[in-house]
């Protein structure tokens, strides 16, 4: 209160006690010495400030986008892990600078070394697809698809071959190399091999399109389609994004491979819808009980491939097919009228008979020596 009282007594001290000369001289000094230069520099300074503000805003937006992308990646990994998927989509990285968010206390420092060959392939594919998307945006692919010829009935061809021969329909693989076996054929002509498979009685063809690990290419797929081969074509690729499905379609694919060991359920559901929209069949590949159970719980599945090769260790065991088709799983597959494809490790007539007895109606081969099985 004393302060308030003292403030009330101060009005007797007036600004009029300040000499007016000093006030006017200060005013004229500011006018004469500073006003004109300020007018000349005002606009450039404003533009610079605006530019700096825009730059800062852009940096903030880019930082926010990086944080969001990083959080999405972390969330995808958590969803995948909850579904038993051990393959990480990309190398683990630390959070963006000054990151504060829901994953702040859940970070894992596992290093950036792939755990197995499948994870190595997926990490490389992530970089490869990002580069391809920059050159060929999805909008451009959709325009090409508008004028693309119709697809061929991959699923129908397998069913027809099985009904016609009483044996599993053959999906013959056009493959130059693999990580486990190296170069399979030095003198590799994809069109010549595809024609030989078709002449030998193959119902469908599978074309490897991965370049780094399998020495394949989308150009091989396109060349086979343009060569007049009538067999429906499966694009055998490590799909991690829907963009690859569109790209496979414009290159002549009639079906696409989706690997449950890599893709969470939500991705598989979404990609199956994309496939149906584009007229493609989706071959969903599994290699253990948990993956089979996941896939059987997804609506719209018509074609399941059972890989007898563990994609993490590359060990092969054809009894895996029988194990995954026993009991309730086999009954559900029959009720849903799902076609099962046996994959990997099938080299003799006895191997074929074994998986056919288990419930397989199609098989996948690499060597043309086995074409006689379905003729």
Over the chain (375 residues), the average pLDDT of each successive run of 10 is 39 40 40 43 55 63 57 62 73 57 49 83 93 95 94 97 95 91 90 96 97 96 97 97 97 97 94 97 96 96 93 84 94 96 89 94 72 39
The pLDDT score that the predictor gives to residue 63 is 58
What pLDDT does 19 receive? Answer: 41
Separation CA 208–CA 171 (nearest Å): 12
C-alpha to C-alpha distance for 106 and 84, rounded to whole angstroms: 18
- Residue 77: the pLDDT is 67
Active-site positions? 173, 175, 236, 285, 307, 343-344
**For residue 145, with 0-12 CB atoms within 10 Å meaning exposed, 13-18 middle and 19 or more buried, which class applies?**
middle
Instruction: For residue 295, give the nearest of 83, 119, 87 by alpha carbon.
Output: 83
pLDDT score at 33 = 41
Instruction: Look at residues 176, 116, 122 and name the one whose alpha carbon lies nearest to residue 315.
Output: 116
Q: What is the pTM of this model?
A: 0.75
pLDDT of residue 350: 92
The closest of 275, 197, 178 to 235, measured between CA atoms, is 275
Helices 242-250 and 117-135: crossing angle, nearest 10°? 70
CA dihedral 248, 250, 252, 253 (to 10 degrees): 30
Q: What is the pLDDT of residue 243?
A: 97
- pLDDT at residue 217, as a whole number: 97
Predicted local distance difference test score (pLDDT) of residue 110:
53
Residue 129: per-residue pLDDT:
95
pLDDT at 18: 38
């Amino acid at each position: 209160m004393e302060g308030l009282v003292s403030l009330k007594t101060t009005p007797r001290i007036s600004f009029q006690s300040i000499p007016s000369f000093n006030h006017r001289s200060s005013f004229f000094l500011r006018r004469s010495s500073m006003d004109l230069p300020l007018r000349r520099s005002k606009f450039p300074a404003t533009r610079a400030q605006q530019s700096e503000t825009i730059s800062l805003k852009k940096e903030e937006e880019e930082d926010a986008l990086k944080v969001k992308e990083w959080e999405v990646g972390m969330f995808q990994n958590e969803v995948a892990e909850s579904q038993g998927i051990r393959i990480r989509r990309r190398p683990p990285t630390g959070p963006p600078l000054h990151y504060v968010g829901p994953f702040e206390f859940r970070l894992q420092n596992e290093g950036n070394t792939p755990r197995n060959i499948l994870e190595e392939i997926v990490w490389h594919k992530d970089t490869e697809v990002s580069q391809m998307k920059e050159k060929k945006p999805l909008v451009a692919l959709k325009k090409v698809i508008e004028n693309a010829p119709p697809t061929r009935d991959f699923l129908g061809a397998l069913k027809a071959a099985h009904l016609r021969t009483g044996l599993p329909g053959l999906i013959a693989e056009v493959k130059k190399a693999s990580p486990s076996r190296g170069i399979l054929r030095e003198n590799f002509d994809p069109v010549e091999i595809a024609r030989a498979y078709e002449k030998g009685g193959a119902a469908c063809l599978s074309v490897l399109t991965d370049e780094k690990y399998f020495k394949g290419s989308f150009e091989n797929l396109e060349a086979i389609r343009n060569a007049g081969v009538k067999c429906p074509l499966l694009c055998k690729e490590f799909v991690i994004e829907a963009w690859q499905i569109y790209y496979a379609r414009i290159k002549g694919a009639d079906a696409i491979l989706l690997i449950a060991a890599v893709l969470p359920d939500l991705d598989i559901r979404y990609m199956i819808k994309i496939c149906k929209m584009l007229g493609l069949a989706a071959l969903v590949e599994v290699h253990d009980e948990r993956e089979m159970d996941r896939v059987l719980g997804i609506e719209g599945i018509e074609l399941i491939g059972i890989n007898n090769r563990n994609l993490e260790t590359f060990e092969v065991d054809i009894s895996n097919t029988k194990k995954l088709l026993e009991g309730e799983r086999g009954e559900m597959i029959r009720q849903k009228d799902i076609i099962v494809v046996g994959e990997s490790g099938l080299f003799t007539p006895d191997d074929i008979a074994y998986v056919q007895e288990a419930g397989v109606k199609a098989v996948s081969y690499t060597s043309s020596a086995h074409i006689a099985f379905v003729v």
